[in-house]
Amino acid sequence: MCASMVDETKAEDTFVTARPRGRPRSEAATVAVLDAAYRLCAAEGLRGATMQAIATQSGVSKMTIYKWWDSRLALLIDAYLRHATLMLPISETDPPVAAIRAHALRYVEALQGDLGRVQMAVLCECWAENGNANLFVARYLSIRRELGVGVIRRGQANGDIPAGRAAEALYDQIYGTIFYRYQFGLGGIGTQEVNDMVMSVLR
C-alpha cells in the first residue's frame, strides 16, 4: 500500500475497533451492508435508510447487522467513512500545499453528489440521537483531521508552508469554511474560490 493511501488503513482500523468480540464478520458481507446503507441514505435520506431496507438490499439479516453495529447511526458513519476514504485520500508524498489543495478541491466536488447528501443525513442523525456530533468526530472527523494536520505540519517543517499559526488552526480555517458554506448553502466554494482560499491560508 502506497503512502498516499494511508486513509484506507485508518478506516480499516476504525472498522476493526468497532467490531464486538466473537466470531469475525465476513468482509464481503460487511462491505455489502456499508454500501447498501450509503446508497439508500444518498438516494432516500434517513427515511429510506432503515435497518430493514439495508438488510434487504445487502442480503445480510437485520439481526446480524445489529450484532455488528449497535445503532443505525454507527452504521451510517462507517458507511460514510468507507466512501469518503475511497474518494478523498490525502497524499503524504506530494508537496504539502499541493496535497491539501487537491484534497480540498476533491472534497468540494464530492459534496455536490452522494457524499454531501450522506454527510448531511449522518450529522442530522447524530444530533437527533445524541444532541451532539461526538460519535461522528470520534469515528471519522478526528482521523481525517489528524492526517490533514500532519501534512500541514510537514509543510511548515520544510518551509513549503510559511504560515506560522498552529497546523490545526490552518486546517480548520480551510475545511471549516468549506463545511460552513456547504452546510448552509452559502456558495462560494467553487474551484477558483477554494484554490485561492487554500493558497491564502497556507502562504
pLDDT tens-digit map of 150-179? 999 999 999 999 999 999 999 999 999 999
Per-residue pLDDT of the chain (203 residues; tens, 9 = 90+): 333 444 444 444 444 334 444 456 789 999 999 999 999 999 999 999 999 999 999 999 999 999 999 999 999 999 999 999 999 999 989 999 999 999 999 999 999 999 999 999 999 999 999 999 999 999 999 999 999 999 999 999 999 999 999 999 999 999 999 999 999 999 889 999 999 999 999 99
- What fold, for 3-81? Tetracycline Repressor; domain 2 (1.10.357)
Domain assignments of the chain as residue spans, ordered by start: 3-81, 87-202
106, three cell numbers: 476533491
d(CA 162, CA 167): 11
pLDDT value, residue 30: 97
pLDDT value, residue 157: 97
Residue 141's alpha-carbon distances to 23, 129, 149, in angstroms, are 29, 18, 12
pLDDT value, residue 72: 96
- Give pTM, 2 decimals: 0.82
pLDDT value, residue 25: 73
d(CA 199, CA 203): 6
Q: Do domains 3-81 and 87-202 have the same CATH topology?
A: yes
User: What are the helix (H) ranges across the chain?
Assistant: 6-18, 27-48, 51-58, 62-68, 72-87, 96-111, 114-130, 134-136, 142-158, 167-183, 191-202
pLDDT value, residue 24: 61
The H or E element that residue 5 is part of is: none
- What fold, for 87-202? Tetracycline Repressor; domain 2 (1.10.357)
pLDDT value, residue 13: 44
